[in-house]
A and B are shown apart, each in its own frame.
Chain A
Amino acid sequence: MNVAVGHGAAVRVESCGKTFADGTRALEPATLDIARGETLVLLGPSGCGKTTMLRIIAGLELPDRGGKVLFDGNDMTSVPIEQRNVGMVFQSYALFPNMSVADNIGYGLKIRGMPSGERTARVAELVALTNISGLENRRIDQLSGGQRQRVALARAVAIRPGILLLDEPLTALDAALRDRLRGELNRLLRALGITTIYVTHDQSEAMELGDRIVVMQKGSIAQIGTPREIYFKPRNRFVAEFIGAANIIESPIENGHLVLPGGRQPIGGDVSMASAVAMIRPETIEVVAAAAAPLSGTIDSVSFIGDRQRMVVSGASSKLLTVDAPNTVKAEAGERIGLLIAPDAVRLLPPED
């Protein structure tokens, strides 16, 4: 397989499901196309099937009968992982404790029969790229979590894989380090431009890194889209609530308005329904004088977060509304306020089953 650097392979997953030997259905048959050079994030809570999907693409699990995995149009379904030319970063990193950092990074090159001179040069290149200079001769148990993560990434990228697969690579790190490495990882992935499939349960990681996000729920795909689409146009309540904060309101509709206890809120889109489940993001609600908006309510509490303040408002809808207001707005608990919401900021979701 000859794959140019900086491009990688296009991946197609065709109706791949996975039922384990004990009968548990980890993944409903799903079809997925990943473009050459794209970063696709599989996002969902634990047990949603995202890791199973990744392992099927990697070649660590066989899909159920009828499922197919194609790289650049070639059927790879029965090809074992060692012949798929994928680079993989594991959640636990899977670094070899019996080898030095440099030997870990160079292992895939050694397997490919690269002469030792060339190998040393390539390892040095990756050590520089991942910022771990000076650690080459360390043992793995002498590294910190962040350093291990970098070594694992360097090792996976060293072999110039067609596809880079990352299974929760930042989950094992503490929060501050995770944020920093996320930025670094993002720059690195953009620089490599390689087809990347990234598994995480962290929505902010998914937002920052993904060209597209696949939100998964209970073994099936809930929605596929760009971070913006997923955030602003969630297809159902699960997606809306999993990504960011969301007010979910059930309300009857009357000629293009949600009829709420605190007033009538105009909505865009399809208004022919008699009632709807609507989603409103907290930061799309503008706090104005009570008389200046069709919808009004009473502030229950205000918490100052720094870059914004989060208000909980009662009386506007049947449930408490969460509002994220700029930190300059002056309002106190008990005050009556108007809530100005643009019609297209109200997203109608399909009714619950």
Chain B
Amino acid sequence: MRDRLIFTAQLLFTLLVAAFLVVPAILSITAGITVNYFQGIRSGVTLQWVFQVWELYAGTILLSFVIAFATLVVTLLAGVPAAYALHVRGGRLSRIVEEVITLPLAIPGLAIALALLLTYQGFSDFRRSWLFILTGHVIFTMPFMVRSVMAVFATVDIKTLDEGAASLGAAPWRRFLDVIVPNAVPGILAGSLMVVTLSLGEFNLTWMLHTPLTKTLPIGLADAYASMRLEVASAYTLIFFVMIIPLLVAMQLFADKEQAR
């Protein structure tokens, strides 16, 4: 009897917490598809706000994905070899470099953005292009790529595999492509999903770095809430949800699969 009571209480509490998190999301989504939010769902259901958002912000959404995938490409090209080098070399210098790469996690995005602005204010073409935001996103997401690849390296004893390939005559770049990358795939995938998701959702840095012509999804969202009807902004949230949820689910599935191994 007492156990049942405790169980019920715990269940209720869990449901309450879940509701606390889920209800606002549902409200926001329904707001995006009602004709008039202040009259509620009675006023009817419509996709007009969604279309309106798409018309206004298609460019922003597209740019967001361009930046996210460009960030992914850069973090892959620089992060995976960096993780390999850091892992195989070891020693104090590698540790220091690793710490430096990880530092942006601890520094507020605002501070990083200010540093970038101060450093590159003279290069106005660069400052105005989306590449400037890309730079910020790469700095912010790099530790996630390097760390998840290094975590895999630590579990598969990549150093010995590397030495094994070397003993068979393979030059460093050959070992990297034939042995290191194929055995780091789980880490590379996990890192990639994280980088893309973080880049799509990044607000802090991007808010400071963007120009009216270089906006990303979250900036557009803030913009929509600040300057448009609530329904439009909510429709924007809906679009954001639709785009980012599949990525999050993929990440979760992936993590589960890794755990099962």
User: A residues bordering B, Cβ < 8 Å?
Assistant: 21, 58, 60, 80-83, 85-88, 90, 92-98, 107-108, 111-112, 155-156, 159, 165
Contacts and interface: CB of A to CB of B under 8 A. Distances in A.
Given A21-B91, A90-B160, A96 B167 contact: no
Interface of B: 91-92, 156-157, 160-161, 163-171, 174, 178-179, 182-183
Contact of B166 (A82, A87, A95): A82
A208 to B, nearest CB: 25
A92 B158 CA distance: 12
Nearest to A156: B167
A352 B235 CA distance: 88
B167 A88 contact: yes
A97 B156 CA distance: 9
Contacts of B167: 58, 81-82, 86-88, 156, 165
Contacts, number: 63
A69 to B, nearest CB: 15
Contacts of A108: 168-169
B169 A111 contact: yes
B179 A80 contact: no
A92 B159 CA distance: 11
B161 A94 contact: yes
Contacts of A97: 156, 183
A88 B168 CA distance: 8
Contacts of A95: 164
A139 to B, nearest CB: 13
A82 B161 contact: no
A130 B160 CA distance: 23
Nearest to B161: A94
Contact of A82 (B156, B157, B171, B182): B171
A111 B161 contact: no
Given A92-B157, A97-B183, A107-B178, A60 B163 contact: yes
Contacts of B179: 96, 98
Contacts of A90: 160, 163-164
B168 A155 contact: yes
Nearest to B183: A98
B164 A82 contact: no
Nearest to B170: A111
Nearest to A109: B168
**Residue among B161, B166, B170, B183 with most chain A CB within 10 A:** B166
B183 A82 contact: no
A276 to B, nearest CB: 47
A3 to B, nearest CB: 13
Q: What 8 pairs across the A-B complex have the smallest Cβ distances?
A: A94-B164, A108-B168, A98-B182, A88-B167, A94-B160, A111-B169, A81-B166, A82-B166
A96 B169 contact: no
